[in-house]
Amino acid sequence: MEAATETVQESGALSFKFTGNGKEYFGIWIVNLLLSIVTLGIYSAWAKVRRMQYFYRNTSLAESHFDYHGSPTMILKGRLIVVALLVAYNLAERFSPPLAMIAFVCLAAGMPFLLMRSLRFKLFNSSYRGLRFHFKGSLGGAYKVFLMWPILSAITLYTLAPVWHQRLKDYQHNNSAYGKANFSFNVPVSAFYKIYLTVGAVLIGLIVAIGFLFGGAIFEQIKSTAGGGNGYMNPKTMLLLFTFPLMIFGVGLLLRPYFAARFQNLIWNNTHLGPHRFVSNISARKLLLIEVTNMIGIIFTLGLFKPFAVIRTMQYKLESLALIPHGDLESFVASQEAQVSATGQEAADLFDIDIAL
């Protein structure tokens, strides 16, 4: 009897469920949008809280729900900091290039700190069954993944980009915790290289093919239609020059869902929470279908389809993810308690930097 329950629980993957729907979200989204425009963007911090609460509270695992606790004023503070930094940088650039250099260095040096704080904000303000998540990444770690690895990958002409990506995921997932249980993540760099090389090879192949098929034709057309006119560069030429990157973009559009799907699967299939593991079986083809139809919808409704698009993608991504509990999930979750270190004092210093990671 004991053994029987054990096997059921071992194989019994618990799917994430998402109960959001496009019609409901449209109302939230359009009112958010209007109020954000009318308040010149200030309301966008409150809008973010409403949006996140809608997403989190409509997400459930084992019949319990998630929640988002971000404070709008802290989000606004984070946004103001980012705007102030960008304005300062632009002013410096206008008035003196050496000053701009210094501003750029300061910005680069400060960014890892801000990004680390924003990861902490995001996790600290996420909860499941009333218990919050935590991010414990160190500042040194943040400097490595947000400064050292980007620089190293740039100077090696991005041949080290997969290493950077792996270190970033390692930093995020190995430093996250739920109550007293830690997340763990263990994927070798070679697995990242494998996906990057596959995508890179397909991308190069398609670009070369497009180049052979259309490159000559485009060049001929530029030569024959250009000439004449007395104003700015001939828009015909511009439009034609435009076609080529658009095709490359089309290729990118086809490959992006593949890339996203492979990585979601790789990363979550190798992430554990305590003794439990996650499993993700997202399909690149379905994700592509969703994204292409979303884009068509957005273009033909002049953007009004956006909230439906967001819900469709989120629903598919979440419902492709499941938790495989090891032993009794209920008693594991019920025994989780808040960590003493996560005091209210600490939370009060956190602010959000809106950069998707």
Partner 1 sequence: MTVQGNYYDGQSAKRHRVELRVEEDIAYVTGESVDRSAPLGSLHVSEQLGAAPRLITFADGAFCEIQDHAALNALLAQTGYREHMTARWQRDWRWIAASAIVCIVLGIGGYFYGLPLFAKVVANTISDDMASRIGHEALDGLDGAYFKPTQLPEARRHELTEKFRRLTISNSKFLNVDLEFRASKVMGPNAFALPGNIIVVTDALVNIAKDDNEIMGVLAHEAGHLEKKHGLRLMVQASAVGVITTAYIGDISSILASVPAVLLQAKYSRNFESEADRYGAFLLRKNGISPHYLGDILERLGESRKQKSNAVFDYLASHPMTEERVRELEKAENEN
**Binding residues for partner 1 (CB under 8 A):** 19-21, 24-28, 30-31, 33-35, 37, 50, 53-54, 57-58, 64-65, 67, 93-95, 128-131, 179, 221-239, 242, 245-246, 248-249, 252-253, 256, 291, 295, 298, 302-304, 306, 333-338
Q: Which is nearer to partner 1, 25 or 164 (CB)?
A: 25
* Distance of closest approach, residue 301 Cβ to partner 1, in angstroms: 11
What span, in angstroms and rounded, lies between the C-alpha atoms of 164 and 268?
18
* Distance of closest approach, residue 232 Cβ to partner 1, in angstroms: 5
Which residue matches tokens 């025994």?
335
What span, in angstroms and rounded, lies between the C-alpha atoms of 247 and 54?
37
What span, in angstroms and rounded, lies between the C-alpha atoms of 206 and 326?
44
Other beta carbons within 10 Å of 133: 19
* Distance of closest approach, residue 256 Cβ to partner 1, in angstroms: 7
Are 195 and 259 a contacting pair, CB within 8 Å? yes
Long-range contacts of 239-246 (CB under 8 A, 24+ apart): 243/214, 243/218, 244/210, 244/214, 244/215, 244/218
Q: Which is nearer to partner 1, 47 or 160 (CB)?
A: 47
Other beta carbons within 10 Å of 250: 12
* Distance of closest approach, residue 227 Cβ to partner 1, in angstroms: 3
Q: Which is nearer to partner 1, 223 or 285 (CB)?
A: 223
Element of type H or E holding 135: strand 131-135
Q: Which is nearer to partner 1, 15 or 237 (CB)?
A: 237
Q: Which is nearer to partner 1, 3 or 344 (CB)?
A: 344
* Distance of closest approach, residue 155 Cβ to partner 1, in angstroms: 24
Q: Which is nearer to partner 1, 27 or 140 (CB)?
A: 27
* Distance of closest approach, residue 181 Cβ to partner 1, in angstroms: 10
Are 124 and 133 a contacting pair, CB within 8 Å? yes
* Distance of closest approach, residue 86 Cβ to partner 1, in angstroms: 12
Q: Which is nearer to partner 1, 7 or 230 (CB)?
A: 230
Q: What angle do CA 185, 170, 180 make, to 5 degrees?
A: 55
* Distance of closest approach, residue 281 Cβ to partner 1, in angstroms: 22
What span, in angstroms and rounded, lies between the C-alpha atoms of 34 and 40?
10
Are 176 and 135 a contacting pair, CB within 8 Å? yes
| Alpha-carbon dihedral 111, 156, 250, 167, rounded to 10 degrees | -50
What span, in angstroms and rounded, lies between the C-alpha atoms of 159 and 156?
6
Q: Which is nearer to partner 1, 179 or 325 (CB)?
A: 179
